[in-house]
Amino acid sequence: MSDRERDASPAPVVEATGIVRRFGPTVALDGARITIRPGETHALVGRNGAGKSTLVSVLTGLQAPDEGEVSFGGAPAPRLADRDAWRQRVACVYQKSTIIPTLTVAENLFLNRHERGRGRLINWQGLRKQAQELLSTWSVEVDPQTLAGDLSVERRQFVEIARALSFGARFIILDEPTAQLDGAAINRLFDRIRDLQAQGVTFLFISHHLQEVYEICDMVTVFRDARHIVTAPVTDLPRADLVAAMTGEAAVDRLQVRSNTPDRSATSALSVQALGRDGAYRDVTLEVGAGEIVGLAGSAGSGRTEVAETVVGLRTAHTGEVAIAGSRPRPGSVPAALAAGAGFVPQDRHHQGFVPDMSIADNTTLSVPHRLGSKGFLSRRRRDRLADSMIENLAIKAPGPQLPVSALSGGNQQKVVMARALADDPRLLVLINPTAGVDVRSKEFLLHKVEETAESGAGVLVASDELDDLRMCDRVLVMFQGRVTSELARGWHDHELVAAMEGVDLDA
């Protein structure tokens, strides 16, 4: 479309063509391309796994493409080993900080290129002055003598941007810079981007939040399934088209098989009243009936995970109430929530889900010691029997209950976590990203298990941004920036839900 008009303008800041990058059998980039003109702020959007991060690694010289060409200002890219040359052309502010928290801001700015004074010793005064000048050149209001670890995420990003500019790069990649920022900080970051853009800095902006793309960017490139889909000025690409480009036509209409009506007469499995927690979510009210599956959708940082974690007592709300199966467990106490009848699959199984070197038997029965014996002593026989039944019930592929969980595949590990959540026949099942990093077959199995659990009369709350997790839900509540903004009944289309999660109004 508009690609042809753009070819008339001067040499692009960066141009990548026909990039192929494989990791073993998976193809992360398949003939991908991107062209970024001087002075523009270019958005790169796509769902998880679209190949965005791989493209960033290729553009910053951290990985060489298997095929394809990268050029900067018309000249071919430097050798991979020549870090200095790369740093003069392109800089990236990653989600993960590349700042050393124990050193001052000034030292971080000039790390490994300190100002030298007499006798080749570091001239600290000169260094501080240099840092001060650099920070004020790019109007970053940070005292160069503060410890970098004391900076807020926002200020840290400004410092990293200033450092990138000080190497001479005028092309900066921002990798999801807004993920950890609140609304006000996002506005300040955008002001900064506009300032720098006016000074001739070119940005590649990666974000999951489409409304940010419309706010700050001139051009947008969409990747899907490792391929380039479209590049267009944002004004030429209405929101609905952008979402369609991201999700793909094929995914719009998919059958939603589940047809179950929850039992309205029974006590609801979960009742949340006006729940609020500063900086995470506010005024969340929701109800999960017995036998009902309710989805809690939203992008990262929308507050969905925090709400789910509050329900099971991992976090404490500042206002509001949680009632599980009619009783009110003590807020902020996981044992109380479990005793009230909750089962829980946490967000990150590696951190909160299991003890990797303990056996399947120990892991699955970790939360139900009362079923394994009395007076504090555990019966190994009972434990193994219970574990055996769970291994069978969840079809965990393992030679026996004594195998350490770390030896299992991702899908089977998640089944262990699910088995534990189901170990005590919960009245309420809370799942956070239940199928993250799980192969397709285990995914189907796990989701089927969830439906089974609901049919047996338990309520289920699924907090996720994965559409497949949400498809089986009777209804989906969508959270955006800490609030429940909409509710979709079963039968929604992918683009509706994605748009709601991104905070985009399709009718606008």
Pairing of strands 483-489, 26-36: unpaired
β-sheet with 91-93: strand ranges across: 91-93, 171-175, 202-206, 41-45, 219-224, 227-233
Question: Min. distance of Cβ 123 from another protein in angstroms?
Answer: 9
507 binds another protein (CB under 8 A): no
Q: Where are the beta strands (DSSP E) in 53-197?
A: 67-72, 75-76, 91-93, 171-175
Judged by CB, which is closer to another protein: 341, or 482? 482
Position 502 contacts another protein (CB under 8 A): no
- Of positions 120, 351, 370, 375, contacts another protein by CB under 8 A: 120
Q: Please list every residue from 439 through 498 that binds another protein, using CB under 8 A.
A: 480-481
Taking CB under 8 A as the binding criterion, the range among 143-151, 228-236, 358-366, 391-399 that sits at the site for another protein is 143-151
Stretch that binds another protein, among 6-14, 91-99, 199-207, 349-357 (CB under 8 A): 91-99
> Shortest distance, CB of residue 143 to another protein, whole angstroms?
6
* Distance separating alpha carbons of residues 492 and 464, to the nearest angstrom: 16
Please report how close the Cβ of residue 436 comes to another protein at its closest, in angstroms.
24
Contact status: 266 vs another protein (CB under 8 A): no
Identify the residue among 102, 259, 265, 374 touching another protein (CB under 8 A).
Answer: 102
Tokens encoding 291? 């036998």
**Is position 84 an interface residue for another protein (rule: CB under 8 A)?**
yes
Q: Shortest gap between Cβ of 276 and another protein (angstroms)?
A: 14
- 182 contacts another protein (rule: CB under 8 A): yes
Q: Does 80 bind another protein (CB under 8 A)?
A: no
Q: Which of 133, 150, 425, 455 binds another protein (CB under 8 A)?
A: 150
C-beta of 105 vs 430, nearer to another protein: 105
Closest to 430 measured CA to CA, from 348, 326, 294, 308? 308
CA angle, corner 386, sides to 381 and 389, nearest 5?
125
Residues 89 and 72: their CA atoms lie apart, in Å, by 7
Is there binding between residue 97 and another protein (CB under 8 A)?
A: yes
Scan for tokens 């509706």, then name that residue: 496
At its nearest, how many Å lie between another protein and the CB of residue 94?
A: 9
Q: How far apart are the first and last CA of the chain?
A: 23
What letter represents residue 387's amino acid? A
Q: Is 306 in the site for another protein (CB under 8 A)?
A: no
Applying the rule CB under 8 A, the residues between 194 and 213 that interact with another protein are 211-212
Tell me how far apart the alpha carbons of residues 461 and 271 are, in angstroms, rounded to a whole number. 11
Among 184, 198, 255, 257, binds another protein (CB under 8 A): 184
27 lines the binding site for another protein (CB under 8 A): no
Please select the residue that binds another protein; options are 15, 40, 154, 309, rule is CB under 8 A. Answer: 154
Mapped onto helix, strand or coil, the DSSP state of residue 30 is: strand
CB of 208 to another protein, least distance (A): 15
Which residue(s) pair with 227 in the sheet? 224
Least distance (Å) from another protein to the CB of residue 414? 29
Under DSSP, the state recorded for 282 is E
Q: Supply 356's token pair.
A: 């990797």
Residues 322-341, interacting with another protein (CB under 8 A): none
Q: Considering the rule CB under 8 A, would residue 100 count as an interface residue with another protein?
A: yes
Considering the complex, what minimum distance in angstroms separates the CB of residue 477 from another protein? 17
Position 295, amino acid: G
Nearest residue to 209 via CA among 235, 191, 186: 186
Taking CA atoms, 203 is separated from 17, 82, 173, 209, 356, in Å, by: 19, 22, 6, 16, 42
Q: Cβ closer to another protein: 190 or 367?
A: 190
Q: Which one of 101, 369, 400, 437 is in contact with another protein (CB under 8 A)?
A: 101
User: DSSP secondary structure string, 408-474?
Assistant: S-HHHHHHHHHHHHHTT--SEEEEESTTTT--HHHHHHHHHHHHHHHHTT-EEEEE-S-HHHHTT-S
Size of the site for another protein (CB under 8 A): 42
Using the rule CB under 8 A, is 136 a contact of another protein? no
Name which of 87 and 495 has its Cβ closer to another protein.
87
Q: Within a 10 A sphere around the Cβ of 437, how many other Cβ atoms?
A: 13
Minimum distance from CB of 215 to another protein (Å)? Answer: 6
Token reading at 64: 């060489």
Rule CB under 8 A: say whether 111 interacts with another protein. Answer: yes
- Residue 165 C-beta: closest distance to another protein, Å: 16
Which listed range, 31-39, 95-103, 243-251, 254-262, lies at the site for another protein (CB under 8 A)? 95-103
CB of residue 317 vs another protein: minimum separation in angstroms? 19
Q: What contacts 24+ positions apart, CB below 8 Å, involve 233-240? A: 233/2, 234/43, 236/1, 236/2, 239/210, 239/214, 239/499, 239/504, 239/505, 239/506, 239/508, 240/495, 240/499, 240/506
Closer of 69 and 150 to another protein (Cβ): 150
Which of 31, 248, 404, 503 is in the footprint of another protein by CB under 8 A? 503
Q: Residue 29: CB partners within 8 Å, gap ≥ 6? A: 19, 20, 21, 51, 54, 55, 58, 65, 226
User: To the nearest whole angstrom, how small is the minimum distance from the Cβ of residue 85 to another protein?
Assistant: 12
Q: Which residues bind another protein (CB under 8 A)?
A: 83-84, 97-104, 107, 111-112, 114, 116, 120-122, 124, 141-143, 145-147, 150-152, 154-155, 182-187, 211-212, 215, 480-481, 503
